[in-house]
Amino acid sequence: MRVVLGVGGGIAAYKACSLLRLLSEAGHDVTVVPTRSALAFVGEATWAALSGKPVHTEVWADVHEVPHVRLGKEADLVVVAPATADLLARAATGQADDLLTNVLLTARCPVVMAPAMHTEMWEHPATQANVETLMARGVHIVPPASGRLTGADSGPGRLPEPEALYAVCERELARRAAAARPGGAPGVAQDLAGRHVVVSAGGTREPLDPVRFLGNRSSGKQGHALAAVAAERGAVVTLVTAAELPAPPGVRVVAVETALQMRDAVVEAAREADVVVMAAAVADFRPATYAPAKIKKTHAGDVVDESAPTVALVRNPDILAGLVADRVGASPVIVGFAAETGDETGTVLEHARAKLARKGCDLLVVNEVGPGVTFGQDDSTVHLLQRGSETATPVGPAPKAVIAAAVWDAVLRLL
């Protein structure tokens, strides 16, 4: 399919080279349209060599072919990565002062923009207002990642990895292709429209004292991806999260920390929900007592007491089982997650099937976890287990956005 890859003038332009290669190797016809400032980071020769096509920034090149109109009208997808603060502002206000902004004005296909800039620029009200304007017009904004930026700075504003952006592009192209087929529905990309979904995410923290807590390795990336994909597909989304990640565009976020807070927020949001997805890693236990002051080592003169305090634990409520027990009829559809490790008593899938039987949810998303596996990673591999079926459907290894899309596809079949 025909893809226009717009490149803004930011240091993250180098990542667009990998995105271009991924799109080209998948068989897509890619035309690169950089801004003038983008060429200060990655030169014209690089784009031409990777795409196999001449590269222009202005409307005056090949005027007889009217590229400022033709490229946008003929494209199946326009993706801009990185989209700088300046480029977002020009796109939001309808400016047409170079070839890329002309393409954005003439495009009648899906448009994906991946902002990348310093945290202060991303969080500025002007940038956020421009993002909201573009989203209201149907532009798919891929929220920036949080991490190392230019220099020593770190925070939200980092361009997502090329593989994650490629996955978004492939989803948009697949939807467009499905809509173009005989009998294809134009609204295929909005197949969750009219649905209210609740997603939990992140690992809860159970405080021991003002400094310490019991927690786990969950990053919340999968839950946030589920929320983002559901919003893209038209759902009204409530994300109950214990993760310190940027809020996905168009999603209502309820920030929590503990298992009890998560239970209360999820139960409240689930009252009017069509689907509840419990992707959070909820702590099974919490300290029985909370120390209002930091627990310190004890000393007898100059001698340190080598003993350690005993921490008594109490069990946290099982949010997933409680949702199943309290629902009326078949609504809402309830999806659980099982982070499992195999041991001498059984494999990951054997433990997962036993969990599905105990919990009684409609769908269980199973992944094997451990140091460097799943937790904190951008990619994952899961197995989907549906209640009443012995078949496990594998998905991945793939970016977590692709995993999220597969989960929602399975949910739609249940709906």
Closest C-alpha to 12, from 113, 112, 81: 81
User: pLDDT-based confidence at 99, cuts 50/70/90?
Assistant: very high
pLDDT of residue 184: 43
Please provide the CATH number assigned to the domain covering 191-284+309-414: 3.40.50.10300
- Mean pLDDT, the chain, rounded, equals 86
pLDDT of residue 301: 61
**Homologous superfamily of the 2-180 domain (CATH):** Flavin prenyltransferase-like (3.40.50.1950)
Torsion over CA of 31, 33, 34 and 36, rounded to 10 degrees? 140
Q: Which residues pair with 365 in a beta bridge?
A: 337, 384
User: pLDDT-based confidence at 329, cuts 50/70/90?
Assistant: confident
pLDDT of residue 185: 41
With a cut of 60, say whether residue 13 has pLDDT above it.
yes
- Among the listed residues 102, 130, 216, 367, the single catalytic one is 216
pTM for this model (two decimals): 0.57
User: pLDDT-based confidence at 35, cuts 50/70/90?
Assistant: very high
pLDDT of residue 364: 94
CA distances from 266 to 84, 255, 260, 270 (A): 36, 11, 10, 6
E strands present in 347-387: 363-368, 379-386
Residue pointed to by tokens 């400016």:
95
Residue 130 designated active-site: no
pLDDT of residue 76: 92
Start-end ranges of CATH 3.40.50.1950 in the chain?
A: 2-180
Start-end ranges of CATH 3.40.50.10300 in the chain?
A: 191-284+309-414
**CA gap 106, 177 in Å, rounded:** 20
CB under 8 Å to 384, separation ≥6 — which residues?
A: 363, 364, 365, 366, 392, 393, 395, 406, 407, 410
The pLDDT tens digits for 342-366 are 777 778 888 888 889 888 999 999 9
pLDDT of residue 180: 61
pLDDT of residue 397: 78
Mean pLDDT of 172-189: 58
